[in-house]
Structure 1
């Protein structure tokens, strides 16, 4: 045999139709997608009392929608309150639907070699925003949203790509919980209304 490594690569008794599975999946996906939602009604969008704050999930991987790449939620920040503080490797984009406030961002130095390291930089930047603005969160930035109005709520729409997660880089760390976070509370429209009156 011309190849010196023949004894190495020719070993093994395991046989599996893995490429055929890819072909089958590609063939069957259109039919499966027909069963997935193309429209999501408000009553189908779950509320969550999360460590990041009061959320209404618009599109999420667990909601069986046709969206394969992006998760989107609406965050409600009560008057004078703030979100949790967290950091994730994926970049994020938020649209300010209602209200006014500011973000605090702290960039991190990152090193990805055989191990993954991140270290917060000293500088914390403040970015003010109001309804109609877009907030961009760079990759691996510690960030937190603040409602600057003591009388009115803030509503933000957050969109984040799932690609990092599917590449094995679902690096998400909660650093501080939102003040409203209480795991014993189950959110619904009535409960949210009470938070907005505070």
Structure 2
């Protein structure tokens, strides 16, 4: 053979129909998608008492919906309380449904070489908001939500692109837990109503 490296690249006897699997997957997608939800009803949206706080998942990769690229949840911060504090590589947008509050944001210096390094900046910024406002959280910003009302809940809708996770960049770090967080708790409507009434 004319190529000196042929002894190397001709090695191996494993055969797999990987390209055909891509074709088969594309052909099966319409029928598969027809079985996936385009409308999600409240009773199909799971609750979670997470380290970030009280969440009702609206759209999630594990919920068998037609949404391919985005996750969304409603976050409820009880009167006088706060969310957890975390940082993630993907940018996030939140719509303030109810109440008033403020965010604390701390940007980070990022260096991506063979490894991924981030260093929090000294400056911490406060952003106030109320129902009807939209909150933008830049990539890799440490952030936390605070309910400024002593007697009304703060409700936020969070949307985040899951493409970072699909690209192997699910850089999510929990820095502080929400006060209400309790591992393994099973939420009921009665418990949630209690969270909304009482200051933490």
Give TM-score scaled by structure 1 length: 0.98
Superposed, 1:40-119 pairs within 5 Å as 40-119=40-119
RMSD in angstroms over aligned alpha carbons? 0.8
Structure 2 distance, partners of 1:118, 1:57, is 29
CA offsets, 1:44-97, max 9 Å, x none? 000000000000000111111111110100000000100000001111110000
Secondary structure of the structure 2 residue equivalent to 1:83: strand
Who is 2:143 aligned against? 143
Structure 2 distance, partners of 1:39, 1:196, is 27
Instruction: For residue 2 of structure 1, report the CA deviation from its aligned partner.
Output: 2.2
Secondary structure of the structure 1 residue equivalent to 2:68: coil
Gaps of 5+ in 2: none
Who is 1:32 aligned against? 32
Structure 1 distance, partners of 2:184, 2:92, is 28
Structure 2 distance, partners of 1:2, 1:129, is 70
Structure 1 distance, partners of 2:194, 2:122, is 38
Structure 2 distance, partners of 1:74, 1:31, is 30
Gaps of 5+ in 1: none
Instruction: For residue 9 of structure 1, report the CA deviation from its aligned partner.
Output: 1.2
Structure 2 distance, partners of 1:150, 1:99, is 10
Instruction: For residue 184 of structure 1, report the CA deviation from its aligned partner.
Output: 4.1
Structure 2 distance, partners of 1:77, 1:136, is 18
Structure 2 distance, partners of 1:25, 1:185, is 38
CA offsets, 1:99-158, max 9 Å, x none? 111000011111111111111111111111111111011111100000011111100000
Instruction: For residue 4 of structure 1, report the CA deviation from its aligned partner.
Output: 2.3
Structure 1 stretches of 4+ moved >3 Å? none
Structure 2 distance, partners of 1:72, 1:97, is 14
Secondary structure of the structure 1 residue equivalent to 2:83: coil
Aligned residue pairs, count: 198
Who is 2:20 aligned against? 20
Secondary structure of the structure 1 residue equivalent to 2:94: strand
Secondary structure of the structure 2 residue equivalent to 1:84: strand
